Amino acid sequence: MIEQVADPLPQAGYAKVVLELDVNNHPGVMSHICNLFARRAFNVEGILCMPVSDGKRSRIWLLVFEDQRLEQMVRQLEKLEDVLNVRRHGAEHEVFERLEGFFH
């Protein structure tokens, strides 16, 4: 019998990319976003979330690998009701670099 074997999903070796999300700020938003990445087996390397301006919105920064499924993940993110928009930045974006001091 031929078993259903999914292709392995190597992520090391891919370039990193930074995603910037504007989201509604309420207690469930982080779980919607983290859950989406987890259940679609897409690794998140880093995550940062803070409320912005009047506290009705938050900004979330995600550090992820740019593998062939990134486009699919962005489309899935854009479907979430609480995600208002998604912007892509290259790995050169400094948001996570500036935080590195806290992780050493």
Partner 1 sequence: MMQMTGAQLMVRLLERQGVRTVAGIPGGAILPFYDALSGSEQIHHVLARHEQGAGFIAQGMARVSGVPQVCIASSGPGATNLVTAIADACLDSIPMVVITGQVPQAMIGTDAFQEVDIYGITVPITKHNFLVRSARDLLEVVPDAFRIAMSGRPGPVLIDVPKDVQNQLVEVADFPAPAVADPAPQLDLAAVELAAKMINEAEQPVLYLGGGVINSGAAPLAAQLAEQAGLPTTMTLMALGAMPMDHPLSIGMLGMHGARYTNFVLEEADLLVCVGARFDDRAIGRAAQFCPNAKIVHIDIDRSELHKIKSAHVAIHANVKCALEALLPRVQATLRKRWLSHVDSLKTRFPMQFPGQDDPRTHYGLIHAVAAALDDRAIVATDVGQHQMWVAQAYPFRRPRQWLTSGGLGTMGFGLPTAIGAALAEPDRTVVCFTGDGSFKMNIQELATLAEEGLNVKIVLMNNNALGLVYQQQTLFYGQRLFASKYRTEPDFVKIAEGFGVPAVDLDLADNPRAALAEALHRPGPCLIHATIDREQFVYPMVPPGAANTEMIGG
Q: What is the contact surface with partner 1 in residues (CB under 8 A)?
A: 1-5, 27-28, 31-32, 35-36, 39, 71-72, 75-76, 78-82
Cβ-based nearer residue to partner 1, 84 or 99: 84
CB of 55 to partner 1, least distance (A): 15
* Least gap, CB of 56 to partner 1 (angstroms): 13
| CA 74 – CA 87 distance, rounded (Å) | 9
Cα–Cα distance measured from residue 83 to residue 103, given in angstroms and rounded to the nearest whole number: 28
The nearest distance, CB 98 to partner 1, in angstroms, is 31
Beta strands of the chain (E only): which ranges?
16-24, 44-52, 57-65, 83-90
